[in-house]
Amino acid sequence: MSLFDDILGEAEEHHFGPQEGFAGVMLCASACDGHIGDDEAQAVNQMLGSKSLYSRLSPQQTGSMMDRLVGHLERKGHEQLLLKSYPAVPPELRECAFANAVDIVLADGVVEQEEREFIDDLQTKLEIDADRAKTIVKVMVYKNHG
């Protein structure tokens, strides 16, 4: 235990807002197989840039947020980042987050076992109906085919 843990530990732990929660889920989707591929990183950046959720953030604010999230990911792993991120995703954005996470997993053209397990876990955590989740996955597979 570091001398800083008692002093800085609490300051570091803050609750995520919707923007951090959504972006955190996307980072977890890209890192759930143990690495973030170039295609996945590009997909995350493009996807976040297209969301109105981030339209009020300056590029510096977005970069700072992503740096904090990546730091959390590197220190604690994607499982812990997901546990902190998914509760901050507002109910009206949960299906959107799920669909985009599936899209990111499919970005490199290979769906590894860890990615399959991540998507199954995310579906449960975000409380997406099983039939609805299957439809979303099917559409994303079609979108990424070829």
CATH 1.10.287 for domain 17-144, yes or no, is no
Distance CA 22, CA 26 (A): 6
pLDDT tens figures, 7-26: 665 445 678 999 999 999 99
pLDDT tens figures, 32-78: 988 887 877 787 888 898 999 999 999 899 989 999 999 999 999 99
Residue 96 burial by Cβ neighbours in a 10 Å radius (0-12, 13-18, 19+): middle
pTM score: 0.88
- Looking at every residue in the chain, the average pLDDT score rounds to 89
Letter string b/e over residues 25-46, b meaning 16 or more CB atoms within 10 A of that residue's CB: bbbbbbbbbeebbeebeebbee
